[in-house]
Amino acid sequence: KAGVTQTPRYLIKTRGQQVTLSCSPISGHRSVSWYQQTPGQGLQFLFEYFSETQRNKGNFPGRFSGRQFSNSRSEMNVSTLELGDSALYLCASREGHDGNYGYTFGSGTRLTVV
C-alpha cells in the first residue's frame, strides 16, 4: 500500500504570495489532517477533513484554509504569505475520524518564504 504522498517536497515563495500544498492519503483512508512544524512552535494542528467536510480546526488565522475532494485527496492553501509561515507542513491520514484510528504521516512539504 502506498503511503501518504505530499507534493511538492520543497517550495520557495515570496512574502505576499499564496501557495497550495497537496496531500494524497493512503488508499481507503478518509480522514486527512494537516500540521505545521517549526523550530520555535513545534508541531501544531491546522485542521482535519473527513468526507469533504472540515471536522476540526486549530488556532491559525483565516489565511490558512483547506479542502478535501471526493477521492479524499486534500489541499491546503496559505494566502498572503508571511516570513513566519516558513515551516514543514505535514499531512496525516487515517481510516476514520475518531480515536480508534492511528495517524500515518507523509514526508511533508518544506515551505520557505523569502
**Which residues of the shown chain bind other proteins in the complex (CB under 8 A)?**
4, 6, 33, 35, 42-45, 48, 55-56, 58, 90, 92, 97-99, 102-108
Cβ partners under 8 Å of residue 17, min gap 6: 81
User: Which is closer to other proteins, CB of 48 or CB of 85?
Assistant: 48
Q: Give me the least distance between CB of 92 and other proteins, in Å please.
A: 8
> Which position has the grid cell 488556532?
59
Q: Give me the least distance between CB of 64 and other proteins, in Å please.
A: 14
Q: Give me the least distance between CB of 40 and other proteins, in Å please.
A: 10
Cβ partners under 8 Å of residue 11, min gap 6: 19, 21, 109, 110, 111, 112
Which amino acid does the sequence have at 98? D
